[in-house]
Amino acid sequence: MALLPTPLRQSLRKAAPWAALVFLVLLGAIQLIPYGMDHRRAPEPNPFKWRAPEAEALAKAACYDCHSNETVWWWAVKIAPFSWLAQSDIDEAKGKVNFSDWNGRLTGPRLRRALDHGMPPWYYSIAHPHTRLTEAQKQTLVDGFQASLPKP
């Protein structure tokens, strides 16, 4: 701040409280926008039937928050704009794979590819370190998923 000319420093000191007030008012106002606030659990019309308990436990720990109707909402994602981002990610994830409403589109190789290329996302794993799977856990999940798929 010492590098700034004196008049600019003075005007920044005068503007800072107003900028903070505007920021707080905006932060409060966006809480009234309901997107990402409905956390009612949807019914499970056609859940995926796991036959491998260890794989099911891994999937529930690493995948179900976004890819099922069993999302656990932690405090930070109840605050906009984080709630908007979380809801958008979850809507997109459930559109691809929803273990609570199984559509049969996911295959073992596609699951493996997803696990090897960014699932779960790094930004989710920061807050949820238990979702970082080892190679052995990934293989257990894929093998258990494969064994649980309905036979054609």
Tens-digit pLDDT profile for residues 102-125:
999 999 999 999 999 989 999 889
Establish if 39 belongs to a structural domain. no
Establish if 127 belongs to a structural domain. yes
Cα separation of 23 and 47, whole Å?
43
- How far the first Cα of the chain sits from its last, in Å, is 70
Establish if 9 belongs to a structural domain. yes
Domain check: are 5 and 76 in the same one? no
Domain check: are 8 and 59 in the same one? no
Establish if 36 belongs to a structural domain. no
Reported residue count of the chain is 152
Domain span including residue 7: 1-30
Positions of the chain with pLDDT lower than 50, given as ranges: none
pTM of the full predicted structure?
A: 0.78
Establish if 109 belongs to a structural domain. yes
Interacting residues of 41 by C-beta distance below 8 A, sequence separation 6+: 69, 70, 71
Q: Give me the number of domains the chain comprises.
A: 2
Confidence at residue 62, expressed as pLDDT on a 0 to 100 scale:
95
DSSP single-letter state for residue 151:
P
User: Would the CA dihedral through 64, 88, 41, 72 be positive or negative?
Assistant: positive
Domain check: are 26 and 100 in the same one? no
Helical spans, DSSP H, in 5-134? 6-30, 53-62, 64-67, 82-96, 108-116, 122-127
Domain check: are 61 and 98 in the same one? yes
